[in-house]
Amino acid sequence: MARVTVEDCLDNVENRFELVMVASKRAHQLSTGGKDPLVPWENDKPTVVALREIAEGHITSKLLRDSTAIGREHQGEN
């Protein structure tokens, strides 16, 4: 298992704050079974898998933009 560093991930997101937001959203998707992992699981926790996906460029900040837009649509239904 290779270590994932923040610097590895910052090539694919704008800043550390965004990295935390994207990684937490993706880890939640993985832990609830809502999405399949894009990298081998390798006995890692969902947070580590999410960071590996970001470091490899499979997941970007687009995940946040898409989920924010979906949330706004659901708020408009009330």
> What is the residue extent of each domain of the chain?
6-76
Biggest alpha carbon–alpha carbon distance for the chain: 46
Distance CA 12, CA 58 (A): 9
Q: Which CATH superfamily is domain 6-76 in?
A: RNA polymerase subunit, RPB6/omega (3.90.940.10)
Residue 61 pLDDT more than 50?
A: yes
Per-residue pLDDT tens digits for 20-58:
999 999 999 999 988 899 999 989 999 999 999 999 999
- 68 or 51: whose pLDDT is higher? 51
H helix and E strand count, the chain: 4, 0
Residue 2 pLDDT more than 80?
A: no
The Cα-based distances of 30 to 14, 15, 55, 76 in angstroms read: 22, 22, 16, 27
- Which pTM was predicted? 0.80
Contact 59, 38 (CB under 8 A): yes
| pLDDT band of 74, cuts 50, 70, 90 | very low
Query: For residue 68, what pLDDT is reported?
Result: 61
Query: Closest Cα to residue 16, out of 6, 28, 26, 8?
Result: 6
